[in-house]
Amino acid sequence: MTLCRQIDDAWGTAFALLVLGMIAILTGDSPRGMALSAQSKALFERLGDRQAVTILLVNLGIASRNLGDAQGSAEAAFEDIVAVARETNDPTCMAVALQHLGQLAGQRGEWTRAAALLRDSLEAYLEVSETYIASFGLLEDSARVAMARAEPERAARLLGAAAAQRDALATPVQPSQRSAYEAVVGDVRAVLGGRFAAEWTRGRAMSLDDAIEEARAVSPPAISPAEGL
């Protein structure tokens, strides 16, 4: 980044800030990640790079969510992404934004809305055959909805399936998400007791297609992005 600044490479500087911000968020330093991402976003906006700005809106939304989203900035960021994705016909960005909006709705206890947004996110990922990218997150999010709907067996299977996908992709739970992840696993285990291990193992043995169908069974029919926001 220093070299980019020395040679007046605005794009290179903006990209370096994006990467550094993303690393900070993934390693649990959301305040630093937010500051770096905001600097990068300002540069990319001046450069007119809409795709990079969209990525940075995701980063800023995630950082805001990790920090508690006291001012609703995370939700606003993801709603902006939905608007951009609709304008540019980008189902991947739409999928990412809807997934995070579903997570936020679940955190507020709005489980019907959360389930519908997650279902829409899943369908958007399927549209571009990129479900594997977000498979474990969507399965874990769906497990939370299943628990809220008093379906602990399904929640355990979904968590087991998500764990198998994480292992296959060598993607552990991020530090910023570990406490929430451990909480839902603990809640499901507490309800099921000795039955937990069997359902978890059943989930781990599922194919990704079967796990997706398990997640679909949790959620109501999809809502359109316009209806969901």
Q: What is the pLDDT of residue 64?
A: 74
Q: Which two tokens stand for residue 65?
A: 């969510």
Q: Which two tokens stand for residue 30?
A: 């959301």
Mean pLDDT, consecutive 10-residue stretches, the chain (229 aa), reads 56 88 82 88 87 80 72 78 83 86 89 91 80 77 93 96 92 83 95 96 94 83 41
Q: What is the pLDDT of residue 90?
A: 81
Q: What is the pLDDT of residue 178?
A: 86
CA distance 27 to 211: 28
CA distance 67 to 75: 13
DSSP 94-147: HHHHHHHHHHHHHHTT-HHHHHHHHHHHHHHHHHTT-HHHHHHHHHHHHHHHHH
Domains of the chain by residue range: 109-228
Q: What is the pLDDT of residue 71?
A: 53
